[in-house]
Amino acid sequence: MSVTAVSPMIPDASAPVGIFDSGLGGLSVLRAVRATLPRERLIYVADSLHAPYGERDDDFIVDRTMAIGEWLVGQGAKALVVACNTATAQSIALVRERLPIPLVGVEPGVKPAAAVSKSRVVGVLATAVTLRSARFQSLLDRYAGDCRFICQAGHGLVQAVERCDTSSPALMALLESYLAPMLDANADTLVLGCTHYPFLDRAIRQIAGERLQIVDTSVAIARQLERLLDAHALRNTAQPDTLPRFCSTADGESQRQLAASLLQIDAPVEHVDIRSRRARLPEPDIV
């Protein structure tokens, strides 16, 4: 019996774009996609029930990414944005191979950071899984050049954003403990290697002032999506502006709050139950 529930429907340009993250971080990508492609219909899935992914094992992340990708295909998505560096690092090749729609992933902006840093010292904040992934190592090998990259796992930061905490004293102290060694080492550029972190930009500015230029790849991802839709003749030019369809595997309360306060989008959040593919496998016979 096959457990893959991929829709046989062939999407057209009026179909929605699916965007997914472990939680609320992908909303920073959704913001850029809406600005670049205001006519596209969007379905956003936050897997907040299972966030953070950044401290999960690799199989779990691949399993959730495939399950949510398949669910979005089943909802008629014409393209998928994996708006999560951690899920991209662990699963993008497999998901690209298995899903029948074009997709875009997210990677830390090592290349643009190396291009703009004058001090040749760059800080990277990302999840532990992203930093230890082969894809991230390969980005450093290809693009770091003569730059020194100080890589710091942002333990606790995803959880803070999931609680809609972008400025509490405890969060500021945590963030400062991550940024101080970078500033002490004369870093002049900071790569935000997790889509949750752009929501901490004001806090980062408060700590670092103008000493760090922030590299956030969300606008580049939106442009990449635009190119991809054009290449597949899937760009929607007719649809008037609509609110995104927000979905969450948790209760969606934080999502609604963060979208309203930081994106000025007041939209309801649907609870969705997206079972892991492993959980859908039939139980083995007990002998």
Sequence-distant (6+) residues with CB within 8 A of 147 are 113, 114, 117, 120, 121, 122
Q: Is 107 left (phi over 0), alpha (psi -120 to 50) or beta?
A: beta
d(CA 129, CA 71): 24
Q: Which stretch binds ligand DGL (CB under 6 A): 2-10, 34-42, 52-60, 62-70?
A: 52-60
d(CA 116, CA 112): 6
Closest CA to 53 of 196, 240, 218: 196
**Is 196 annotated for ligand binding?**
yes
Are 81 and 225 in contact by the 8 Å Cβ rule? The answer is yes
Q: Which stretch binds ligand DGL (CB under 6 A): 84-92, 95-103, 237-245, 260-268?
A: 84-92
Query: Given the complex with ligand DGL, which of 130 and 189 has the nearer CB atom?
Result: 130
d(CA 134, CA 141): 10
Sheet holding 42-46, edge to edge: 103-104, 79-82, 17-21, 42-46, 245-248, 269-271
Interface pick for ligand DGL out of 32, 158, 262, 272 (rule CB under 6 A): 158
d(CA 238, CA 205): 39
Q: For residue 106, what is the enclosing H or E element?
A: none
Q: For residue 194, indicate whether it is catalytic.
A: yes
**Is 86 annotated for ligand binding?**
yes
Minimum gap (Å) between residue 240 Cβ and ligand DGL: 30
Which of the residues 208 through 267 are near ligand DGL (CB under 6 A)? none
Q: Which stretch binds ligand DGL (CB under 6 A): 191-199, 217-225, 237-245, 264-272?
A: 191-199
Question: Is residue 127 near ligand DGL by the rule CB under 6 A?
Answer: yes
Closest CA to 205 of 230, 233, 184, 175: 175
Q: Which stretch binds ligand DGL (CB under 6 A): 66-74, 80-88, 200-208, 262-270?
A: 80-88
Closest CA to 217 of 240, 194, 200: 194
Interface pick for ligand DGL out of 72, 73, 84, 190 (rule CB under 6 A): 84
Q: For residue 151, indicate whether it is catalytic.
A: no
Sheet holding 189-193, edge to edge: 148-153, 121-126, 189-193, 213-215
Question: Is residue 91 near ligand DGL by the rule CB under 6 A?
Answer: no
**Closest residue to ligand DGL, based on beta-carbon distance:** 54
Question: Is residue 194 near ligand DGL by the rule CB under 6 A?
Answer: yes
User: For the window 8-47, what string marks contact with ligand DGL as x by the rule CB under 6 A?
Assistant: -------------xxx-x----------------------
The shares of helix, strand and coil residues in the chain, as percent rounded to the nearest 5, are 45, 15, 40
> How big is the site for ligand DGL, counted in residues (CB under 6 A)?
17
Interface pick for ligand DGL out of 130, 166, 189, 254 (rule CB under 6 A): 130
**Is 168 annotated for ligand binding?**
no
Return the ∠ at Cα 172 (arms to 259 and 149), rounded to 5°: 95
Question: Is residue 195 near ligand DGL by the rule CB under 6 A?
Answer: yes
Query: Given the complex with ligand DGL, which of 86 and 189 has the nearer CB atom?
Result: 86
Which of 84, 147, 151, 247 is labelled catalytic?
84
The contact set with ligand DGL (CB under 6 A) reads 21-23, 25, 51-54, 84-86, 127, 130, 158, 194-196
- Residues tagged in the binding site annotation: 21-22, 53-54, 85-86, 195-196
